[in-house]
Structure 1
Amino acid sequence: MKLIYLILAATCFCATALATTNNNNAVTFESEITIAKQGKFHSKLLDEDIPFNLYLPKHYHLQSKQHTYPVIFINGAHGNQFFHAVTGLVEFYSRFERMPESIVISLNYSGHYPEINTNGMWTSREVIDRYGKPELFNQFMKQELLPYLTQQYRANDKRMIIGVSGSSIYPLYSLLNDSDLFSDYVFLASSDMIGMGFDKNVDIIEQLASLPQKNNIKHKSLIYLADADDDLEKNQLSAKNHQRIKQYKADLAKAGFQLEVASIENERHYDALLKTLMNVFELQYPESLWAPKYRHLEAQPGNTLANIDAFYQTLSEQVGFTVLPRGDRWNSVNNLRHTSVRLERAGKLEQALQVANRWQQDWPYSAEAKLATAKLMKKLNQQDKAMLVLNKAIVLATEQQVANLDAYIDLQKTWQSQSE
């Protein structure tokens, strides 16, 4: 396995210290905002380079190894084109705890698939030619790419793949032939594709109706098929397929699949992508379960940290992967940082320290988490521990060039003078 990063993608501001003059006013750009990487994965199995885009969660570099992330794949040329839109939505939803922080990957030239008969769905051609090595591609995913993502980026087993229009062929092929490879399948503008067939004698809709039972029946796999209402109005064959597949919902449920079929109103073809994904995320991660009010957890009887842990243990069991409490969150009171502050104000210093300590353990590269923990240790007369944690905070703050580094150093000097 060999991974080659080619460029930094999605750069919003370019050229360090680039100055331009407009009406005698100099504008200087001193940094870049980069949200993703573009690279190639060399597959020994396929004997070729697989190009892809990679987005990591905002807090990935601050969090511990205990934090793992679902992976959202978006397939093919459509995946490459819509990568920025998908990552933007994922970043927004995860920022406000409407879904888990997730890794997003676009397979830029599609997963491989065999020849497919169009069955009249595309009048311009009878057959879509075979692409690549379909008999090996899923082995590449399981033996090379997925282990790499797990080892290198803490990916977990919750995997979604998105197929849009013609780029849905590989996800459909994978669903029919190796359904456990992905946890969830999302299709947009694909009601024509499901009327096609990898077998001349049966179309994909009929094959979906006879899917074998999933290995993990406890957590149903989502199959979400969405089309813009404009597409369904213009294409009678797609509209017929869109309705026809609904009759197999019960059969799919018995096999461990949750089929949802949606018409996205007031949209045209690709335009429906963001609404589709919003529907999917809200279906999978309902606000009532996913966005706890930490004050409610603090108000429950017993130890606050134990209450928080109990909530997230239950949530983890429901979604099928480990979910940890949010250490910090911009402009929000629903996180460990604010819980610790509220407990301190209430005079519950020991519980405040427990929560702050969990924050700095879960976010070991957060200078702010260590600073908060050190201050509480100091209040509880744990002088030596407080200084040790403060020193670690200063190291991190220096490395990360935090804006208020001077405040860290001033506090260190104050504590040192107090101990003399």
Structure 2
Amino acid sequence: MIRKPFFTFLPLCFAAWTLCAAQDPVVGQPTPLTFAQRVTFESKVLDETRTFDIFLPESFHEASPDHTYPVVLLLEGEFFLPVAGAVRHLGSVERMPDSIVVSIPTFTDNYYAPNYYLNGSNFWPKEWERFSFDGPAEKFTAFFRRELFPYLKKHYRANRHRTIIGTSATAAYVFHAFCREPGLFKAHVAIAAGDFLGMGYEPGKTLIDEMVRSMEKEPERDAILYVASTKSDAVWAPEIETNLAQLHQKLAPYGTKKLTYISELVDDPGHYDIVLPSFLKVVEMMYPKARWSVNFQELEKKKGNALQHIDAHYRALSQDLGFTVLPKADRWNSGDCLRSSGTRLLRQGRVEEAIQVLRRWTGYRPHSPKAHMALAKALKVAERFKEAISTQKKAVALAKQRDAAHLDKYQELLNSLTGKAKAHH
């Protein structure tokens, strides 16, 4: 037999591959992914139309009215995507509470902050005597107090735990809020802003001095302050490093349990590169991992009622943070939530405790067919068939709207419960 060289088949193989490659796969119309809202706001306080973007937790529309949310306010729209993405991820893995992120564009809209005296700053043009903005800081303050915050509370269940983030020039209002508007925000974050510390409301007087005076007036003030710049900025303007060190030193007497602060020079070379790393540091300041992370299994092992131990933990956490923190109803790929806790308790034969925990899950997620079905299964084990059937009927009704692809499973359990109830009698 004569063997043909392998390469003689290559043209045919290549032709066949070319033909396959040339045929595009059949695809449907691309669907945009929506994760945020843009709101247009007719402000009477500012006498202008403002726009702002809002990110809401994924569970927002499913959660009960008992759930309220902290607010992260960005004064730079450029950083809305990375910060909202970080908040979404950290909330899903229970590293921080589910939160609302709001960004206010400042490059296209007016920005209101004090026209600070530069006091010889090397970071800005030498001919500038003052840093000029579009109007007084009081306009932003009134806008936040009288319009934006009430709007967020009414429409999005926002609570009073607020963080404000400014970068570079937009940090000007952040410093003003810390100095002159205590209580308006819990956390004040000024990134790439060490140069501002040497500026002041009056010539020769710095914001460092003003911040110290603010703490002298209210030494027990409950607040968080984070100020940072990069080493590359300090090369450009050496006073930045001095400013940051001086702030750290002068706030030291006020660094109590209530005032938490960081004033640092970081290695990242880019002026704006530190936004996301800085935000992650602020998260740890606000929600220390050692205090925030909850091991539900450890709470279940304690002597007594599991749900009571879970509630006690979150009451203490709420007391520390100043707003109501509720146990996570459900979590992606985690055992530290009510869903997983109820399932474990049921497997351990702690049926009544499981029912309590799963009933709380349905209370927190009243529109979840999975929550109602889980509760119905626990009630079935307890042979409380009438209540189990009523609960599973709710699950079936909800599944028709929200989980139609698995409707047969919901109906199957309802049929089983009905049969068990008849046999039991």
Give the shorter-chain TM-score range: 0.7 to 0.9
SS of the equivalent of 2:57 reads coil
User: Which of 363, 368, 371 is 2:373 aligned to?
Assistant: 371
Conserved? CA contact 2:72–2:162, under 8 Å: yes
User: Which of 383, 386, 400 is 1:384 aligned to?
Assistant: 386
Bigger Cα Rg = 2
Conserved? CA contact 1:73–1:105, under 8 Å: yes
Distance in 1 (CA, whole Å) between partners of 2:253 and 2:51 is: 37
1:275 aligns with 2:277: yes
Residues 291 and 174 (structure 1 numbering): CA distance in 2 closer, same or farther, change over 3 Å?
same
Distance in 1 (CA, whole Å) between partners of 2:146 and 2:22 is: 55
Correspondence 1:257-268 to 2 at 5 A: 257-268=259-270
Aligned to 1:321: 323
Aligned to 1:236: 238
Aligned to 1:134: 137
Q: Identity of counterpart residues, as a percentage?
A: 33
Distance in 1 (CA, whole Å) between partners of 2:217 and 2:401 is: 47
Displacement of 1:243 in angstroms is 1.8
Conserved? CA contact 1:213–1:255, under 8 Å: no
User: Which of 179, 195, 200 is 1:176 aligned to?
Assistant: 179
Unmatched 5+ stretches in structure 2: 1-20
1:104 aligns with 2:101: yes
1:191 aligns with 2:194: yes
CA RMSD of aligned residues (A): 2.3
Which deviates further from its counterpart, 87-96 or 37-46? 37-46
Unmatched 5+ stretches in structure 1: 1-20
Conserved? CA contact 1:63–1:364, under 8 Å: yes
User: Which of 408, 411, 414 is 1:409 aligned to?
Assistant: 411
SS of the equivalent of 1:381 reads coil
Displacement of 1:247 in angstroms is 2.2
Aligned residues: 396
Conserved? CA contact 1:231–1:269, under 8 Å: yes
Deviations 1:7-66 (A, max 9, x none): xxxxxxxxxxxxxx9742123256432211111222222222221110111211121111
Conserved? CA contact 1:97–1:291, under 8 Å: yes
Distance in 1 (CA, whole Å) between partners of 2:271 and 2:139 is: 32
Aligned to 1:9: none
User: Which of 80, 83, 102 is 2:80 aligned to?
Assistant: 83
- TM (norm. structure 1) is 0.88
- TM (norm. structure 2) is 0.87
SS of the equivalent of 1:211 reads helix
Displacement of 1:302 in angstroms is 0.4
Residues 84 and 242 (structure 1 numbering): CA distance in 2 closer, same or farther, change over 3 Å?
same
SS of the equivalent of 1:127 reads coil
Conserved? CA contact 1:264–1:275, under 8 Å: no
Q: Which amino acid aligns with 1:99?
A: M
Distance in 2 (CA, whole Å) between partners of 1:375 and 1:325 is: 22
SS of the equivalent of 2:274 reads helix
Q: Which amino acid aligns with 1:40?
A: T
Structure whose residues are more often strand by fraction: 1
Aligned to 2:13: none
Distance in 1 (CA, whole Å) between partners of 2:209 and 2:257 is: 14
Aligned to 1:155: 158
Aligned to 2:350: 348
Distance in 2 (CA, whole Å) between partners of 1:413 and 1:167 is: 61
Conserved? CA contact 1:339–1:352, under 8 Å: yes
Residues 25 and 378 (structure 1 numbering): CA distance in 2 closer, same or farther, change over 3 Å?
same
